[in-house]
Structure 1
Amino acid sequence: MKFFKFIKFLLKFVIGCVLSGMVIALVGYFYYSRDLPDVMQLKDIRLQTPMQVLSSDGELIATFGERRRIPLKYDDMPPVLLNAVIATEDSRFYDHYGVDPIGILRAVYIALKNHSFSQGGSTITQQVAKNFFLTPEKSLGRKIREMILAIRMEKELSKQEIIALYLNMINFGSRAYGVGSAAYTFFGKQADELTLSEAALLAGLPNAPSAYNPISHPERALIRRNWVLHRMLDQNFITQADYDSAIAEPLGVEYHVPKIAFAAPYVAEMARQFMYDKFGEKAYTDGYKVYTTITKADQVAATKAIENNVTNYDIRHGYRGPERTLWKADEAPWDKDKILSMLNNYMCYNGICPAVVINSDNNQAQAIMASGATITISFDGVKWARPYINDNQQGALPTSVAAVIKEGQQIWVKQRDETWQLTQIPSINASLVSINADNGEIKALIGGFNYNISKFNRATQAIRQIGSTIKPFIYTAALDKGLTMSTMLNDAPILRSNAGSDAWRPKNSPPVYQGPLRLRVGLSMSKNVMMVRALRAIGVEYAADYLERFGFPRENISRHESLALGSASFTPLQVTRAYATLVNGGYLITPYLIDRIEYSEGGVIYQHTPEIACKDCLTELSYDKKDDKKADLNNVENADLSSGSDEPEQSKLKAEDAMLLPSPNIPFDRLINPDGTVSNLVKENENVGPVYAPHVISSEIAFIMKDALKSTVWGDPNGLWTGTAWRVKALGRKDVGGKTGTTNASKDVWFAGFGANIVTTVWLGFDDHRRELGKARRDPLSDNSYIAAEGGAVTANPVWNEYMKVALNGVPEQQDIKPSSVISVLIDKKTGLLATSPDNNAIMEYFIEGTEPTKYATQEVGTKVMDEQGNTSELF
């Protein structure tokens, strides 16, 4: 009887305990379920994946983001890797429902046996729940929440989805997150190329990625890999033969980083800033692929052109001496370890690397590199190194190696043709911008010699004086005021004196004056005094306002006569955009760098819609063009063609302000979601067709100015005069043109020009704008070489040529289509009037119909002119 009472009591106790446990569990479930996230978020989870910046042809330029990750789909994960992970982390993964009681009991048993917790008992599902939703704190409450989430996940997600999340999310060490990134980081492979041994190694890393890192701790990694292989054998995932073969393999690990196809750091930074402005910090974690408009071939060509010509400039101007002297001849030399420690504080720039001279004599020197290697520099490697005296003067050629570099000096070296040469970090800087004139896409952009030395982007941020590169735009304004390419302007000295001010004497460079010349000739030969006279004819205010049509900022436009000589200051990108207007028929396109943005999983979320030049559109001009806005040519024709240098009274005709379009709107952009809806991140483009750029100058004027810029290359057909851009002839194309630019004292040098529909601008100068580029021998290795001042033609034009030779490769030569209202007229070369016969004194010139000359040139009888008093003088 007592026994049955005991059994009854025990049964009630057990039922009570069970019911109490159920109540406690239920209360605990509701308590710890509060504010738990919805596991369905994992269906659309975005893993922290770095941003990739790519060229238009899909080449990787840069990555931004702390965590390296290559997200993979379940089907892209090899079975050998899945089995390795399951055998290591959760052998009953396919049998439990998120929480594994057997695994928990096994962990508790081992903990009691070993007096420490060596196994956690967490399933793969629990680890996913913890990493995505919970903090890493070790507490009972966090563990209960983890279990609840794991159970919910198993109801909503398939096993394949869960393990794919785990393998894409987990940290493998060395900044590699996810198995896709880990496979590349440690083996340089895709995940589906992993061998059994490699899969086992990766499967063992998540448990303690730092402790088992195969690069820093290969012995531990080997032990861990072998343990994983043993687990796979125990779980019957592999055979004994597989095990024996894999365990005999070496680790075969080597650190790999994402392969950058080519360097374009200024482009990458512009793309990064664009993305950050749109997406904030998520730009670095949401796996965006940013496709830029540049191409690898063009960008590499631009980089080489800048490097080669900046280095050539530096060589011409002499050797400025060592970076520093570590010890002198009467001091004890540094030991190798000390030298290497110091060198590790420096880095290489464009192949220019630091070294320390340890021995030097007349014929050669030895130097230690940061790698510890010893190199030899022969006399051929230093023979260029004339001592730098100042920007305008260099010393004599060296006669020995020891006369240039000495023991104890830290120098800069570069390897060329398998030999080491002395060099130096250039002090001059440069930029290059190249765009498609028809739609504004940037084809190449260089913001400086080296991004690591200076992150300042001179292509977009440096506001520098433009020099003679401005002349085509002022001449364009002159054409719009009634001048033509046959208008005669006097190439004679100018003197302007004002009370209380210094005399202003604009001069030609070189100071050669040829008397009356046609406007086309004056532009091609870059005659400064002719430009001043043209500016006076149309009025300074009119010209200044007219420049705004080309996108030049009003605040950077000077409003005095020095504007004619390029006293205004603009960025290279602004100059390139303006030249594109002359090339594309008069349309003000807007340069852009970002073509589209994609998710890492695929799908375009942003597509740029460029403003294009509508060359076939019959549109009216976007500004007010009135017949009464003509240039005041009376003074120019009646007095300014005299041979004297005294100036006529300044024209009192005040030019009316040109009525410009408002600044162009930001190009329409679309942000397209994967489901086809449009996000409000950027404005939706309601116009599904093309977006046309504003037409800011007439197609007729643009055609004539573009043709005139070709004359700066080809000069006079009979060789009577040469344009300043004659070096462009080396490209062997007829569809090229451009303009040199050099400011006072050669502080800024430019070349802007076009080939086909590609417009490129090159600028060189010192960041300290007070410093001039100076002069030097054109061949620094010859004492017989002539000394010449640096300028747009000799310093910037070679950069342009070197780049455009590549950019135009494979681009068909383009023939310009003449507008119907432009006519060709045979004129006399010397007077600009109609020619009486088609002889060597005659040439075809373009005119807008109605502006062509109506008088014929008279037979030349001499070169003397007579004034009102009957005095005669030679005209030329």
Structure 2
Amino acid sequence: MLKWLVRLIVLALFLGLSGVIAVVVFYQQLSSDLPDVSTLKDVRLETPMRIYSQDGELISQYGEQRRTPVSVGQMPPLLIDAFLATEDARFYEHPGIDPVGIARAALVWLTTGEKRQGASTITQQVARNFFLSREKTVVRKVKEIFLALHIESQLSKDEILELYLNKIPLGHRAHGVGAAAQVYYGKELADLTLAEMAMIAGLPKAPSTLNPISNPLRAGERRAVVLGRMLETGKITQAQYDEAMAAPVAARYHGAEISLNAPYLAEMAHQFALSMFGEEAYTRGLNIYTTVQADEQQAANQALINGLLAYDLRHGYRGPAATLWQGGQPWSTERIAEHLHELPAYWPLKPAVVTAVGERSAVLMIKDKGEATLDWDGLKWARPYIADNRQGRAPRQAKEILKAGEQVWVRPQGEGWMLAQVPEINGALVALEPGSGAVTALVGGFNFTLNKFNRVEQAERQMGSNIKPFIYSTALDHGFTLASLVNDAPINHWDVGSGSAWKPRNSPNVYDGPIRVREALARSKNVVSIRLLRDSGIANAMQRLNAFGFDTDSIPATESLALGSPSATPLQMATGYAAFANGGYKVTPFVVERIEDAQGVVLYQSEPSRERIISEENAFLVSSALSSAIQGGASGDRRWNGTGWRAGRALGRGDIAGKTGTTNDSRDAWFSGFSTARVATAWIGFDDFGRPLGRTAYNPNLGRNQVAGGEFGGSTALPVWADYMKVALSHFPEQARPQPEGLVTATIDTSTGLLSNGKGRTEYFVKGSEPNRYSRPDSHQRFGGTSVTDELF
């Protein structure tokens, strides 16, 4: 018997030694394929790219994975307990592998032939998540064990746990517990309840099928397992268990916590980051700080939305978006709510369904708001739209506008609601800091979700009268002053090539004869612009436009360019006007101020560039004339308003300048204006180039304070610019432009432009260009190549 016992002991030792030798040999064979676990000390977790405003408001987030890295010290102890109780109760005791679990998995494999990975510790899961695939093979399992042992020798338990809880996939693109808390509950980890922590801790088993959004029933069952394990291991009391079990399985998808709406700007910053970092931009945890301030961007958003909706309102109501039922049996409240839930909302518009119509009111179900009453103040604007140039009779009763069963759009109005519609018109607004080119606000259209076309940088539209300051800038460098008289008279020019006459006209079709350059620009006299172009030379004007950044290769070198026939984007327009605001420098607009990595290291810092393109004196003179476009002026005893007078009324400041712009048939409406602190351009038009903005008739339901008649730059685009500037310039006290040293002043007679013997106005001149004669009753001077005594027509 002793002999057999000795033989058994020897056999056991032999087998054990053989097993050790086999493991060593197996390790030697695999060691060359094992990754270096020391890299975990410097691991860079894949985190999404985030885009912020200058003052830290989140604008957007890009990346397939959502991850918010959190240290173990920042994680609630109960959350850690929930994971340990469910995934690895002996985590702080074992050396990285669980021998009992491995033996159990091996037994299942030997007896059933099924390759189940079971019994993996958290350390093994870290090894698999960072270095291995998820295939169920013996070789992969052995590698996982060896790596786990290596990891335990290199990292502390807390470091391993932190990597695990930040790396693990938890469903709906959430990776790590920080992201899961945001995705499922819209909370920080510290704000989670025990029930919510248990829900998240149950996700690693099958994140795509056990999460509370995709399968609330199975997720609730899995949560119960986690809570049960926590109770068994003494991590929670019976009372805590009972309370958490009774909590509803309430979760919904929460996107990134966007705090500032600037999607068009965000996409520009996104593309900039991709151009610098490629696809790595999505995983390096880049924090991109743009040049906008939150309050200015919000003001720009609201200004453009208000302008587009105001245009839409005055042109009439186009009817419901859909009709859900007519007469017969109305839909149930539940069915209406389900239908509304599926519809998008385009801020500030919300979809609604009309359920009843009274004499001067209607009852609606509004998405996410429930039942509401639409009173007459929110309805009375809605006369029928017939065409862009024509509206129907103003309504007297609600039934003329709405019927039960119609799906419509509404928007907030004071404490109530107003009938609305998704506008067919569109627009853009962009603002810059003129000295650097930093974009301070940018809105590329009515709604990014509805249409991602960024009109700020992609819509090339005819410039209209917005081009005139560049024509006048050229003229001021070629013999003209702000006091020069030019013939404001019709032009009838025979074109030999076409065999027809070119007859450009003023708008309105009124002519004043001899007129000073300052007044002509302020009042946007078309024929004066043409005469100035003729006298200063088309080639010189083309060079000037090219210097301001416009693509002259695509501009026909004809006299029509004086009226704004060339095309430009709103961003190009704002950039051009910036040179008048900053004293003559061309700037390069930019939207990204800096880019930092996840650790705060600056990877990119903007470096604004400036190039002088016109003299300081020229910039000042044009700016001064554009101030008159807002402030108005006088010629002799006659007072006149500039085309931008609404801007002066809206802002009540004397340090602003600007120019309206309207193209033929009013297809494009512009306003570009500036102070020394901000330059901005607003554009309104249809994406369909051939569709004019039209006209509106007076709506008797809306009272006196309304826009009626033609749609022009001053009435359509200027209010958008002014609404933005009210906020943007509130940060800056009124500041007059300093007079350049190369300018002198003289008091001139506003009727003749010559020196005044009595009252007149102070005018600016480049030294040496000021008049040297005094005005007399028979005075005259040369202008536009023709003296005032010559034939005016």
Decide whether the 8 Å contact of 2:435 with 2:582 is kept in 1. Answer: yes
Decide whether the 8 Å contact of 1:733 with 1:813 is kept in 2. Answer: yes
Structure 1 113/235 Cα, relative in aligned 2: closer, same or farther at 3 Å?
Answer: farther
Give the AA of the match of 2:679: V
For 1:154-193, what aligned pairs fall within 5 Å after superposition? 154-193=152-191
Structure 1 163/438 Cα, relative in aligned 2: closer, same or farther at 3 Å?
Answer: same
Alignment partner, residue 687 of structure 1: none
Give the AA of the match of 2:764: Y
- 1:722 paired with 2:632, answer no
Structure 1 66/778 Cα, relative in aligned 2: closer, same or farther at 3 Å?
Answer: farther
Structure 1 83/455 Cα, relative in aligned 2: closer, same or farther at 3 Å?
Answer: same
For 1:283-682, what aligned pairs fall within 5 Å after superposition? 283-328=281-326, 343=340, 345-360=342-357, 362-369=359-366, 373-499=370-496, 500-611=498-609
Structure 1 783/212 Cα, relative in aligned 2: closer, same or farther at 3 Å?
Answer: closer
- 1:31 paired with 2:21, answer no
Q: Which of residues 110, 117, 120 is equivalent to 2:118?
A: 120
Structure 1 604/780 Cα, relative in aligned 2: closer, same or farther at 3 Å?
Answer: farther
Q: How far apart are the structure 1 equivalents of 2:707 and 2:215?
A: 63
* TM norm structure 1: 0.83
Give the AA of the match of 1:714: Q
Decide whether the 8 Å contact of 2:209 with 2:215 is kept in 1. Answer: yes
Q: How far apart are the structure 2 equivalents of 1:874 and 1:540?
A: 24
Point out the more displaced range, 369-378 or 131-140.
369-378
Aligned residues: 782
Q: How far apart are the structure 1 equivalents of 2:614 and 2:779?
A: 41
Decide whether the 8 Å contact of 1:262 with 1:300 is kept in 2. Answer: yes
Structure 1 348/82 Cα, relative in aligned 2: closer, same or farther at 3 Å?
Answer: closer
Structure 1 495/119 Cα, relative in aligned 2: closer, same or farther at 3 Å?
Answer: closer
Deviations 1:109-137 (A, max 9, x none): 89999999999211111001111111111
Q: CA deviation at 1:823?
A: 0.7
Decide whether the 8 Å contact of 1:458 with 1:572 is kept in 2. Answer: yes
Gaps spanning 5+ residues in structure 2: where?
none
Alignment partner, residue 712 of structure 1: 629
Q: Which of residues 799, 808, 812 is equivalent to 2:729?
A: 808
For 1:56-135, what aligned pairs fall within 5 Å after superposition? 56-105=54-103, 120-135=118-133
Gaps spanning 5+ residues in structure 1: where?
612-692
Give the AA of the match of 1:756: T
* Identical-pair percentage: 46
Structure 1 216/325 Cα, relative in aligned 2: closer, same or farther at 3 Å?
Answer: closer
Aligned residues: CA RMSD: 3.1
Give the AA of the match of 2:479: G
Deviations 1:142-162 (A, max 9, x none): 111111211121222222211
1:437 partner SS: coil
1:259 partner SS: coil
Q: CA deviation at 1:290?
A: 1.2
1:173 partner SS: coil
Give the AA of the match of 1:171: P
Q: CA deviation at 1:218?
A: 5.2
Structure 1 178/584 Cα, relative in aligned 2: closer, same or farther at 3 Å?
Answer: same
Q: CA deviation at 1:527?
A: 0.6
Q: Which of residues 700, 706, 716 is equivalent to 2:617?
A: 700
Give the AA of the match of 1:473: F
Alignment partner, residue 843 of structure 1: 761
- 1:823 paired with 2:740, answer no
Decide whether the 8 Å contact of 2:658 with 2:671 is kept in 1. Answer: yes
Q: CA deviation at 1:99?
A: 1.7
1:283 partner SS: helix
Decide whether the 8 Å contact of 2:216 with 2:249 is kept in 1. Answer: no
Q: How far apart are the structure 2 equivalents of 1:325 and 1:76?
A: 53
Give the AA of the match of 1:451: F
Q: How far apart are the structure 2 equivalents of 1:778 and 1:710?
A: 31
Alignment partner, residue 765 of structure 1: 685
Decide whether the 8 Å contact of 2:220 with 2:249 is kept in 1. Answer: no
Decide whether the 8 Å contact of 2:595 with 2:605 is kept in 1. Answer: yes
2:640 partner SS: coil
Q: Which of residues 653, 663, 667 is equivalent to 1:733?
A: 653
Structure 1 381/488 Cα, relative in aligned 2: closer, same or farther at 3 Å?
Answer: same
Which structure is higher in helix share? Answer: 2
Q: CA deviation at 1:12?
A: 4.7
1:177 partner SS: coil
- 1:855 paired with 2:776, answer no
Q: Which of residues 261, 264, 267 is equivalent to 1:263?
A: 261
1:414 partner SS: strand
Decide whether the 8 Å contact of 2:390 with 2:697 is kept in 1. Answer: no
- 1:754 paired with 2:671, answer no
Structure 1 363/827 Cα, relative in aligned 2: closer, same or farther at 3 Å?
Answer: closer
Q: CA deviation at 1:31?
A: 2.8
Deviations 1:49-101 (A, max 9, x none): 22211111101111122322110123322333333322322222223222221
Q: How far apart are the structure 2 equivalents of 1:80 and 1:862?
A: 92
Q: CA deviation at 1:451?
A: 1.2
Alignment partner, residue 665 of structure 1: none
Structure 1 201/181 Cα, relative in aligned 2: closer, same or farther at 3 Å?
Answer: same
Decide whether the 8 Å contact of 2:116 with 2:136 is kept in 1. Answer: no
Decide whether the 8 Å contact of 1:340 with 1:372 is kept in 2. Answer: no
Deviations 1:391-441 (A, max 9, x none): 112121112222222344333233323433322111111100000001111
Structure 1 249/603 Cα, relative in aligned 2: closer, same or farther at 3 Å?
Answer: farther
Q: Which of residues 776, 781, 786 is equivalent to 2:701?
A: 781
Decide whether the 8 Å contact of 1:377 with 1:420 is kept in 2. Answer: yes
Give the AA of the match of 1:553: D
- 1:832 paired with 2:753, answer yes
Q: How far apart are the structure 2 equivalents of 1:375 and 1:194?
A: 34
Q: How far apart are the structure 2 equivalents of 1:372 and 1:515?
A: 61
Decide whether the 8 Å contact of 2:742 with 2:767 is kept in 1. Answer: yes
Structure 1 87/321 Cα, relative in aligned 2: closer, same or farther at 3 Å?
Answer: closer
Structure 1 382/135 Cα, relative in aligned 2: closer, same or farther at 3 Å?
Answer: same
Point out the more displaced range, 30-39 or 295-304.
30-39
Structure 1 576/782 Cα, relative in aligned 2: closer, same or farther at 3 Å?
Answer: same
1:497 partner SS: strand
Q: CA deviation at 1:220?
A: 5.0
Q: CA deviation at 1:163?
A: 0.7
Q: How far apart are the structure 2 equivalents of 1:164 and 1:862?
A: 87
Deviations 1:638-660 (A, max 9, x none): xxxxxxxxxxxxxxxxxxxxxxx
Q: How far apart are the structure 2 equivalents of 1:490 and 1:179?
A: 75
Q: How far apart are the structure 2 equivalents of 1:310 and 1:844?
A: 40
Give the AA of the match of 1:477: T
Q: How far apart are the structure 2 equivalents of 1:709 and 1:586?
A: 15
Q: How far apart are the structure 2 equivalents of 1:302 and 1:148?
A: 59
1:797 partner SS: helix
Decide whether the 8 Å contact of 1:556 with 1:570 is kept in 2. Answer: no
Structure 1 853/288 Cα, relative in aligned 2: closer, same or farther at 3 Å?
Answer: same
